[in-house]
Amino acid sequence: MFAAYRADIDRLVAERGFKSVDVASIAPDNPNRAELRKKFLDEHFHKEDEVRFFVAGSGLFTLHVGDKVYEIECVKDDLIAVPDGTTHWFDMGDEPSFVAIRFFTEPDGWVGHFTGTDIAQKFPRYVPTQAS
Ligand SMILES: [Fe+2]
């Protein structure tokens, strides 16, 4: 998996100064899927860019910027970088399926800081638009 993307990973790490890279994956039969889905389902931000490259499957990032909300469905071969400090939430759906390479600048940079609002609950939850 890493081998196939090695050149792209190395380029991103060099360009953006990432300190670590790992792979997150989940399958629809994961017994902890409901708990894992809930983790980032409410509005939060991070103190570094949230950078993900989707190798397979999909998920929905929703960005809350000013008085606008942007839904971004990420599917295979999509690279997303949610800027540092941008309020957002992420839904993997109720039958989650994805493999994503994650890029980190700080060891604890991806920790979610929750805003405590209920805005995320006012929008439809994620239903994948295509088979993954
Ligand atoms: Fe996040």
CATH at residue 16: 2.60.120.10
| 119 in a structural domain | no
| 32 in a structural domain | yes
pLDDT, residue 129, reads 85
pTM here?
0.92
| 125 in a structural domain | no
107: enclosing H helix or E strand: none
Kindly tell me if the per-residue pLDDT of 113 is higher than 60: yes
CA of 46 to the centre of ligand 1 (A): 6
State how many domains the chain has.
1
Provide the sign of the torsion angle of the four alpha carbons 82, 129, 43, 97, taken in this order.
negative
CA of 119 to the centre of ligand 1 (A): 15
AA identity, residue 7: A
- pLDDT tens for residues 30-70? 999 999 999 999 999 999 999 999 999 999 999 999 999 99
- pLDDT tens for residues 7-18? 999 999 999 999
Three-state secondary structure call for residue 127: coil
CA of 29 to the centre of ligand 1 (A): 23
| 114 in a structural domain | no
| 45 in a structural domain | yes
| 75 in a structural domain | yes
Alpha-carbon separation of residue 126 from 75, 87, 90, 109 (angstroms): 13, 18, 9, 25
Residue with tokens 């890279």: 21
Residue 22's domain spans which residues?
A: 2-107
Burial of 109 (0-12, 13-18, 19+ CB in 10 A): middle
Alpha-carbon separation of residue 20 from 13, 37, 75, 92, 112 (angstroms): 8, 23, 22, 23, 18
CA of 114 to the centre of ligand 1 (A): 10
